[in-house]
Structure 1
Amino acid sequence: MDLGTIWFILWGVLWAIYFMLDGYDLGLGTLRPFFAKNDVETRIIYNTMGPFWDGNEVWLITAGGVTFAAFPKTYAVMFSSLYTPLMLLLFGLILRGVTLEFRAKNLSLRWNKFWDAMNFVGSFLPALLLGVAFANIFKGIPIDQDGILQGNLLTLLNPYGLAGGVLFVLLFAHHGALWLAFKSEGDIHARAMALAGKLWPIVAAVIVLFLAMSYGMTHLFTNYLVSPVLFGLLLIPVAGLVLTFLYRRQGRALAAWIGSAVLIFGTALFGVVGIFPALLPSSLNPAWSMTIENSASTPLTLSIMLGVALVFVPIVIIYQVWTIHLFRHPVTEKDLEYDEAY
């Protein structure tokens, strides 16, 4: 396996890790206005993601950094052709972070409601835009031979792109509900588990719809049809979907959340394998696509980066597992009394 292919796989894996980690934060922010009954429950939701959200966002920086360093031409074309949605995504994520820090600075009801609304926007909008962006990548971006987008933001808001956006919002909302169930107790725990149960069949139905649209509107299945053994990869999201259902029925919130993480990881992996070897397919002409061959850095650069990644990525993963273990206890009203609480 050549270095370009190795980095293509790592590129896809890093994006998938970001989706399954920051996904529950974005899902919680999206669900909160419809779930929390009062300010206490709102603060409990904020504090279930408080120790984790900024660490989870590191994976977005890592995925973007890998795109820049390993496939600089793809990075240039991606961040120019998808400039508007990526800037909206960036502003949404900044807004989400600001709300978590600013909300507790004032006890005014109007102040809290304003930042609560901004937190919803900063959670829902990134989830939607990530889905729209990656669905369009799966479908193919209308870029010409010079890597220039032949269209605008409305071009990206096509039925398939919007279906991807809806899928991501639902996946993250379901993921967030299970995280809240894991990090809470009593009535909140029971309601979060019940909400996850209501979202599960909707998520399953939208996944089936998205797969059907992918088959009819994209070339994602081409690699799978050429090498049928790749269909075995679909067992990953299927297993995640089934395990989430079974563990939730057993009342095992953390195990169900892990199953949901496997579902999100497998769904992202399905798309990445489908577009290989292109990182940014062109819908106008396949020859204009950004691929491993025409956008990868030099072998020396890729070799050095691989050595660094093999050392530091496992360290970051170990750190995040330790963080989850350290803050595994449910968030209660007593925790809200600490000065560090949101």
Structure 2
Amino acid sequence: MMVLQVLWFILVAVLWSGYLILEGYGLGTGMLLRILGKTDEERGQMVRAIGPHWDGNEVWLLTAGGATFASSPEWYAVMFSGMYIALFLILLALIGRIAAIEWRNKLKSEAWRSRWDTIQMVAGWLVPILLGVAFANLVQGMKIVVVDPKDPFTEVGTGNIDLSVHVHNLVGLGDMPFAQLLSLLTPFGILGGLVIASLALTQGALFLSLKTTDAVHDRAVAFAPKAALASTLLTAVFAVWGTFAFKGEGFIFALIFLVIAAVCLIVALLFAFQKSSGKAFIFNSAGVAFAVAWVFAMIYPYVMKSSVDPAYSLTIWDSAASPATQIVMTIAAVILVPVVLGYTIWSVYMFRARIAPAPAGGLEPGNVRAGANFLVG
């Protein structure tokens, strides 16, 4: 069943690529709300551009998390416990972002809409930065050791590892509040956060170039080359640093993916300068996909690398679910992944029209009954 284990490792990478490409433009739009949207009406135009797509795009995140849990339960356990605070902040930001999109036009109040726009902008920046930090820590490794569950803060020693008895655990995080989160904020981790944020910013600018009209469209077209230049340079520095500082068994594949990602991002940059937003969006999306492929090639054959000792690293085989589980999941994936992909393509086609500015709607604040909510009516 080694083939299935590698297949699911690749599929998790594909799902993360899909999420960062699709939700990248949604998060990027949120990041740009106060940059490209100069008026309340323009910001409403930008929010309506992503309105039909955000919930479908979130399916890719849920599927990536679910696939990790079901195919590699120990990977899920070590990663989600080691990055708990960062992932919890991502969850809070995503909840705030969803509320900002859905509730923005519930009241006819510019102050109300402005507050939600601010929440969406903060979430738009926070989510990709924290995801980038997490990906960077996968590449550089974390303070993982193998311990006895009865004594989770003492490593057992590389010569005594028995994975039927011992478990992988993160140590050395300290007792300070948020020490776990701060331990992820290494220079390489911070650069990784800036890389994912810049790629999302570029996706958002190119998406708005394709989906909006009037002033927002013109500003997006002018902003896209600047964002693309920044994301290309940051990605180049990050990938070259990571490839040679943390190289492992997947080095050759990582080098190939690095070159392809670089070519895609440079081509996207050239198209952005030529104001060919559609082609730039396609090549920038391909660059994001190969950047994710680079991350997974860099960590292969591990799913969690230990910076303490390679012997403590968690491999694809160590973390895998039972063969029966992976067979059932493979059958489900063959059926359902095309459905998700088909729905995504259909929704993009159905909502392909450009969005023009329009006055905001909503209830007059004075017409909202005191104490009323969706539970009590």
TM-score after normalising by structure 1: 0.93
Aligned-partner SS, 2:169: coil
- How much does 1:127 deviate? 1.0
Whether the 8 Å CA contact 1:138–1:271 is kept in 2: the answer is: yes
Which whole-Å CA distance do the structure 2 matches of 1:210 and 1:38 have between them?
36
1:297 counterpart = 2:298: no
How does 1:1-40 map onto structure 2 within 5 Å? 2-40=3-41
Runs (5+) with no aligned partner, structure 1:
none
Whether the 8 Å CA contact 1:233–1:266 is kept in 2: the answer is: yes
Task: Give the aligned residue type for 2:108.
Answer: L
Alignment deviations for residues 109-156 of structure 1 (CA, whole Å, 9 cap, x no partner): 322221111111221111110000111111111111132222121110
Q: Which residue pairs with 1:205 in the alignment?
A: 233
1:330 counterpart = 2:358: no
Aligned-partner SS, 2:303: strand
- How much does 1:169 deviate? 0.7
Which whole-Å CA distance do the structure 1 matches of 2:271 and 2:229 have between them?
15
Task: Give the aligned residue type for 1:13.
Answer: V
Q: Which residue pairs with 1:254 in the alignment?
A: 278
Alignment deviations for residues 266-296 of structure 1 (CA, whole Å, 9 cap, x no partner): 1111111111111111111222222111110
Q: Which residue pairs with 2:203 in the alignment?
A: 175
Q: Which residue pairs with 1:269 in the alignment?
A: 293
Which whole-Å CA distance do the structure 2 matches of 1:247 and 1:338 have between them?
37
Deviates more, 1:143-152 or 1:317-326: 143-152
* Gap change, CA 1:148 and 1:223, over 3 Å in 2: same
Which whole-Å CA distance do the structure 1 matches of 2:302 and 2:259 have between them?
23
- How much does 1:338 deviate? 8.2
Q: Which residue pairs with 1:195 in the alignment?
A: 223
1:155 counterpart = 2:162: no
Whether the 8 Å CA contact 2:93–2:126 is kept in 1: the answer is: yes
Whether the 8 Å CA contact 2:254–2:298 is kept in 1: the answer is: no
Whether the 8 Å CA contact 1:200–1:245 is kept in 2: the answer is: yes
Alignment deviations for residues 303-326 of structure 1 (CA, whole Å, 9 cap, x no partner): 111111111101111111111011
Which whole-Å CA distance do the structure 1 matches of 2:297 and 2:280 have between them?
26
Q: Which residue pairs with 1:70 in the alignment?
A: 71
Whether the 8 Å CA contact 1:26–1:124 is kept in 2: the answer is: yes
Which whole-Å CA distance do the structure 1 matches of 2:254 and 2:181 have between them?
33
Whether the 8 Å CA contact 1:197–1:248 is kept in 2: the answer is: yes
Q: Which residue pairs with 1:50 in the alignment?
A: 51
Q: Which residue pairs with 1:118 in the alignment?
A: 119
* Gap change, CA 1:229 and 1:120, over 3 Å in 2: closer
Alignment deviations for residues 217-258 of structure 1 (CA, whole Å, 9 cap, x no partner): 4236x522xxx4663333431332133134334433222211
Whether the 8 Å CA contact 2:106–2:361 is kept in 1: the answer is: no
Q: Which residue pairs with 1:132 in the alignment?
A: 133
Q: Which residue pairs with 2:268 in the alignment?
A: 244
Deviates more, 1:162-171 or 1:274-283: 274-283
Which whole-Å CA distance do the structure 2 matches of 1:272 and 1:229 have between them?
10
Which whole-Å CA distance do the structure 2 matches of 1:313 and 1:189 have between them?
33
Whether the 8 Å CA contact 2:243–2:255 is kept in 1: the answer is: no
Which whole-Å CA distance do the structure 2 matches of 1:60 and 1:79 have between them?
14
Alignment deviations for residues 3-52 of structure 1 (CA, whole Å, 9 cap, x no partner): 11111111111111111111111111111112111011100110110000
Q: Which residue pairs with 2:156 in the alignment?
A: none
Deviates more, 1:272-281 or 1:173-182: 272-281
Q: Which residue pairs with 1:280 in the alignment?
A: 304
Whether the 8 Å CA contact 1:4–1:292 is kept in 2: the answer is: yes
Which whole-Å CA distance do the structure 2 matches of 1:34 and 1:201 have between them?
17
Whether the 8 Å CA contact 1:139–1:219 is kept in 2: the answer is: no
Aligned-partner SS, 1:145: strand
The structure having more radius of gyration, on CA atoms, is: 2
Which whole-Å CA distance do the structure 1 matches of 2:138 and 2:255 have between them?
20
- How much does 1:158 deviate? 0.7
Q: How many residues align?
A: 334
Task: Give the aligned residue type for 2:294.
Answer: F
Q: Which residue pairs with 2:150 in the alignment?
A: none
Aligned-partner SS, 2:238: helix
Whether the 8 Å CA contact 2:40–2:110 is kept in 1: the answer is: no
Alignment deviations for residues 158-178 of structure 1 (CA, whole Å, 9 cap, x no partner): 100000001111110011000
Which whole-Å CA distance do the structure 1 matches of 2:286 and 2:11 have between them?
17
Deviates more, 1:197-206 or 1:4-13: 197-206
Residue in structure 2 matching 1:312, options 336, 340, 343: 336
Percent identity of equivalent pairs: 36
Task: Give the aligned residue type for 2:297.
Answer: V
Aligned-partner SS, 2:145: coil
CA RMSD of aligned residues (A): 1.8
Aligned-partner SS, 1:144: strand
Task: Give the aligned residue type for 1:46.
Answer: V
Which whole-Å CA distance do the structure 2 matches of 1:20 and 1:261 have between them?
6
Which whole-Å CA distance do the structure 2 matches of 1:287 and 1:229 have between them?
22
Whether the 8 Å CA contact 1:136–1:156 is kept in 2: the answer is: yes
Which whole-Å CA distance do the structure 1 matches of 2:143 and 2:17 have between them?
24
